[in-house]
Structure 1
Amino acid sequence: MAFEGLADRLQSTIKKITGKGKVSEQDVKEMTREVRLALLEADVNFKVVKQLITKIKERAIGQEVMESLTPGQQVIKVVKEELTQLMGGEQSKIAVADRSPTVIMMVGLQGAGKTTTTGKLANHLRKKHNRNPLLVACDVYRPAAIKQLETLGTQLDMPVFSMGTEANPVDIAHQAIEHAKEEHRDYVIIDTAGRLHVDENLMDELQSIKNDVKPDEIFLVVDSMTGQDAVNVAESFNEQLDITGVVLTKLDGDTRGGAALSIKSVTDKPIKFAGMGEKLDQLEAFHPERMASRILGMGDVLSLIEKAQTNVDEKQAKELEEKMRTMSFTFDDFLEQMGQVKQMGPLDELMDMIPGAGKMKGLKNAQFDEKQLGQVEAIIQSMTKKERQEPSIINGSRRKRIAKGSGTSVAQVNRLLKQFNEMKKMMKQMTNMQKGKKGKGGFNLPFM
């Protein structure tokens, strides 16, 4: 999960104050002290921490909390709102130019994931906004960068404009835009050169490209695992280029990540996107409120629904809902569901998005092993068609055969059959509860 260490510490801190009938000034002081330590340990800039804690303390000791019927809940609301403001308040959407194409310049240091993020952003624009981007290879100093971008273009079935390593980056960018106009491409994403550190030559070149192509967006790609260096890099690039937004990479594997929380306060520029994995579809628009909810263990239902709507066939979901309600849900349906849920991303990430999942018995510290899913699939695939449709016919000898065929034990087969029956009952209850409470267009999540 993003900000995992910070999330664990904050959740355990605010848990102490939740449910209190009365909250004293001393309670607030103790809580804010713990929050302050959690933020500092997570590598949030100390000036940013000081400002945030002052705001939380002022509001938490104020009338809105002290006179509330649920002061503990009000304190959490205050912490969430201030954390949301720290990360930008509301989502900052990507620009759309009055004239086509919209030009985006990608800048950053080597190793931050700039070239890969360029490909991810192009994929995001096509899938989420129905756009036709052109990728532009302007890193002429590192032949591998051009090759990498061309490989990404092939994977995405998307054009890459390149003039090799001998051309001037400013000329490449300029001609790429003319080419995009001719080919009716509505976005141009320029992958610029990076360095191991900020230097004058790099900034001069980026400034020259900026002056020539007049980009609508300048996105700084920052490795969120580099701690306070990420803040320093963001400050330097912003001073020189006046960036329009930040893209955070490697947010999925970071156990600290607090430096990323400092960037908005230090640069006053929004976090636009976050890389949540290595795959080309794992770039998410950054929603400060949703991220604050996830950090505080409140889940992120909107992002979960968006993932489901992207990866789950609505017609299949409706058919499935009817099967659940009528208890005609089979192992074949279960296999299909597993495939769709796996497309949505790692299970532990999905669980983070479900409100209160961290408090459910057995789930708080659960490690979701993808290998176990493979074993479940093997067991189901070792059943005959009739057994998948009617699990009740699976007797002792059939269980032995299934265990042998799937490379598992009879105990594992028994466990799956028992869990499947319990799940069917639970799903029937949940679909009945959901009746009349569906989302837009009658869409339900695949596991509801």
Structure 2
Amino acid sequence: MAETITFTEARVRALRDAARVGRVEYQDGKVPALRLRVSATSASWSVLKRIPGGPMRRVQLGSADDLPVEQARKRAQLAVGAMLEGRDLSAEKRQRRVESERASLTLADGLAIYLAEKDGLRPATRSTYERDLRTTFGDWWDKPLAEMTPEWVRDRHRNRKTRPITAQARVGHARDRDRITASPARADGAVRALRAVVNYLRAERDLDLPDVARRITATKGWGNVPRRKRALLGQALAEFVTSVRGLPDDLPPDLAGTQRDLVLLILCTGLRWTSAAGLHWTEVDFKAKTITVPADRMKGKLSHALPLGPAMLAMLKARAAAPRSPTLVFPGLDPDKPLGRLSVRFLAKIADAEGNPITWSPHDLRRTALTLLEAMDVSAYALKRIAAHAQSGDVTAGYLADDVERLRVPMERLESVALAEPRDGNVVPLRVAGR
């Protein structure tokens, strides 16, 4: 129970000088609701009063450094009067703080909060969200998020689908602006990223923000972009592999060999780009002939182990014999960072038999690998396991043991078909960077 003292400036100074350990609370003899909390480093005024028909409430008035005794009493009396009228001053203060944050929070602020607090987001997701928001809503980057109406978002989404709105983009380089084109997929992605940010702030910060995608959903305005099906099959695959395998080793600053080996690994494993490009030497088990990608680089947030075929195993052993990085299998120009993207020069070198550039992407290679496996009549469960797709809703899948060795035969067959190796099973050696 708080000790009652009639506060004066001298007594407050004495109480503060005597404070040593912990925090002690004192009650004013003139205004009983006024309290002074004193510790060795600070002292603060507050009001402790029961709202009629409700619980006890504490209302902070301020620091004793800034608020003299008489002024603290006057503020306490005003607070007591308001509380006797049934007002919850603490709740009102919180609401004012929320409204102030809501009014001042910009799109840039909202995205920064979202990315800082959502620890589970993959680096690729983070960069995609920021890219889509900057290219589609860049002119709103420093404006209050609360003022972004569903109608305005609908109109911007419609424009982004049909024309390159480069003038509104918030990008760092002119080349990034030149890459912006009319894209239903990027329009949908930008609004979904915006909706994710807004919904997070509504749930975690109790901010009264509009449902930014409401008008798009109500008018069925989503781009509904069909899933891509592009893959390299038949003659196109053979020409692609021949072109890639014919590329030379690394010759600084050209990383042709590193890019070549990474592309072939993706084709022969079906890994996503971020999972393969970030491969560490510690994730390669030469004895077990497997690679294991940790959960933080997997879309499904689960570690993923795959057996290696003989060609990929030989390629990795050759890279390990002359590594450019002690940690990364496929380092970029900076040996401490993984290869970020395929270079324009590298892509220009990949052509068909007539010398025409081949149109492809790293994810096309993933689709190619899975298509080849399915054509081999690999079971649906093994196919999902190789692709690292979720099977949580499949009861039967829950009964199957997670044995990486059962995938070795289909993975070796995939490598053999993808690289068009001789039927006698002898591996055609891959040219490897530095060899």
Q: Same fold, TM exceeding 0.5?
A: no
Structure number with higher helix proportion: 1
TM-score (norm 2): 0.25
